[in-house]
Structure 1
């Protein structure tokens, strides 16, 4: 049996979720085959009078935005969660089960500028976003009716983002959602079995290996996880052990802002387009007392595969069996690592 993972199909295990991904590198030795079109550059105005997130504009439900100058946060006008919820129910066969779920949904506008993204903002402006995320985690997490605070950003219309204005969301739920709950369980079990933090050890091993590292700064490392499912899936992980963003020092918050910009620039430069993704922060449930096992981190799940218009879909075997990828995590990491850190829109002709 060969140990050359670059040539033969194999499965890779995700220790955070307990799931597997099928990797088939033999299917494409050159992942960039075929035409790669130059996408048109979409030029957005700095202010759009029809945008319901721009300063001073009226939103769909009639509320008016203030003339905000940096980060602006408001309760979502069309929330997925409500303060009230239905009662629970379970039949005698445990086949029809309902549990109540309530919560709060908020929108976080990163900038008053309609034409920016995190990758195009200045470090001091992104630092204000980081501070806002920390403040929201603390504020919402202190509420008796909130058990978990999920911070995330959907970027690009193919990710379901209904407005190009730079913004993210916060969904604070009564209970812990399925994926963070799974990560909680796996990290807790690893600490009990190995006596060390799962992601602390993982970061150490990745920094030794280097093959999947994209970049690092004093506080954070950006990498393509060994078990990545999406073509250019990445993670941002703090090098020091900490359970939540609120544990960051001021210097570490600055480093996180820098890392968010650098990661965004690399994504944009990959296919010279405003790169779509879903990005989310996983951190300890705010009220859990036993949190030594938690190591907070950021996931990026981008769908693009070969160009600005060619994307990966979960179909066939992936929907019925398990996720599968042809490009290895090592190949994706090298592609991202080799990109310049100057945004393609700033290079000039």
Structure 2
């Protein structure tokens, strides 16, 4: 991996990730240096302990622009974008409309490909590996920033999920407070250790591998399985067999195997409903916080809001109001259907 660090016209950082050195990344951002004024605020809900980001400036963020005005495509004559280069492999830049910035953290956009009409599942294994290397690099660099306690890499795909830019991309958040779901993981892991003397996430992986019926696919270093109490109709967790806290601790063998398994998993999701349109999904990397996260395990959680070819899983009153999920698909059935979606 070779990286080139530069700046956009308004001073935001832009980083190109290339599979080899030698690419000319000197193209300048020719847009006016107008920076969006943002002052996100973190507020703690005293009733739950959860942190909520208040980011009112995001009301004016770009929303479903026409393809010829996509801000994530490479720049060309007469159409300048967030990426000045005429082509790129993987590009990462500071979000123009961040949910977190300054003392509240940092938000970055990760563009996987210059091809506007493709998706992560269309990448080669080599390009998927480059994205993994970029995620790892961002985790390492952002973790070293003052005040950052957790780094979160994720991808949202599909208008059904709420994506406002269809160009294939993901994001990286540097949190200055532990995310609510991570806090639940920490509490559950501590209780499991106290009760059994074992690690919760090692036990979850071992149980799924031993039972087999919820395993979707497995390799030498990774296993993808549907969790026992899946919240979403089709939800798969991808774990390395060796417990590590974050992406920076993976071995070369683990990194080398990941692209094949992950691309296989994404393509199964796309075949699941027999539709010409790709399946909407969220792919979320769960990494341990920088302190106090010794019991947590790096893993990726992938899920879709689609439950059938013509029905979506909406968060109804129980889920939205009480965080009490009701799943319409048995996890064992979901795993079977994904295994069959070859």
Task: Identify the TM-score tier after normalising by the shorter chain.
Answer: 0.7 to 0.9
Q: Deviations over 1:60-110 (max 9, x none)?
A: 9975532342110000011111214xxxxxxxxxxxxxxxxx010100001
> Shift of residue 278 of structure 1?
1.3
Task: State which of 113, 131, 134 in structure 1 corresponds to 2:133.
Answer: 131
Q: CA deviation at 1:194?
A: 2.0
Aligned-residue Cα RMSD (Å) equals: 2.1
The match for 2:210 among 204, 208, 211 is 208
Q: Which runs of 5+ in 2 are unaligned?
A: 1-66
Give, in whole Å, the separation in 1 of the partners of 2:187 and 2:255. Answer: 27
CA contact (8 A) 1:61 1:77 kept: no
Q: What corresponds to 2:246 in structure 1?
A: 244
Does the C-alpha gap of structure 1 residues 319 and 106 become closer, same or farther in structure 2, counting only changes over 3 Å? closer
Q: Relative CO higher for 1 or 2, CA cutoff 8 Å, sep ≥ 6?
A: 1
- Which residue number in structure 1 is paired with residue 314 of structure 2? 313
Relative to structure 1, is the Cα distance of residues 178 and 59 closer, same or farther in structure 2, using a 3 angstrom cutoff? farther
Partner SS state of residue 188, structure 2? helix
* Equivalent residue for 1:259, pick from 258, 261, 265: 261
Correspondence 1:79 to 2:98 = yes
Do structure 1's residue 276 and structure 2's residue 280 form an aligned pair? yes
Higher strand share: 2
Residues 164-243 of structure 1 aligned to structure 2 (within 5 Å) = 164-243=166-245
Counterparts of 2:80 and 2:180, CA distance in 1: 31
Provide closer, same or farther for how the CA distance between residues 305 and 64 of structure 1 changes in structure 2, counting only shifts above 3 A. closer
How many pairs are equivalent? 273
* TM-score of the aligned structures, taking structure 2 as reference length: 0.75
- SS in structure 1 at match of 2:114: coil
Determine if contact 2:225/2:335 at 8 Å carries over to the other structure. Answer: yes
Q: How does 1:285-324 map to 2 (within 5 A)?
A: 285-286=289-290, 288=291, 290-307=292-309, 309-320=310-321, 322-324=324-326
Counterpart CA distance in 2 for 1:255 and 1:57 is: 36
Residue 56, structure 1, aligned to residue 75, structure 2: yes
Whether the aligned pair in 2 keeps the contact of 1:70 and 1:111 (CA below 8 Å) is yes
Q: Closer, same or farther in 2 for the Cα pair 1:131/1:190, shift >3 Å? A: same
Q: Which moved more, 1:70-79 or 1:106-115?
A: 106-115
Say which SS state the counterpart of residue 337 (structure 1) adopts: helix
Q: Is the 8 A contact 2:192 2:200 kept in 1?
A: yes
CA distance in structure 1 between the aligned counterparts of 2:109 and 2:75, rounded to whole angstroms: 16
Conserved in 1, the CA contact under 8 Å of 2:71 and 2:81? no
5+ residue gaps, structure 1: 1-47, 85-101, 341-349
Q: Quick one: structure 1 residues 267 and 162, their matched pair in 2 at CA, closer, same or farther if it must change by over 3 Å?
A: same
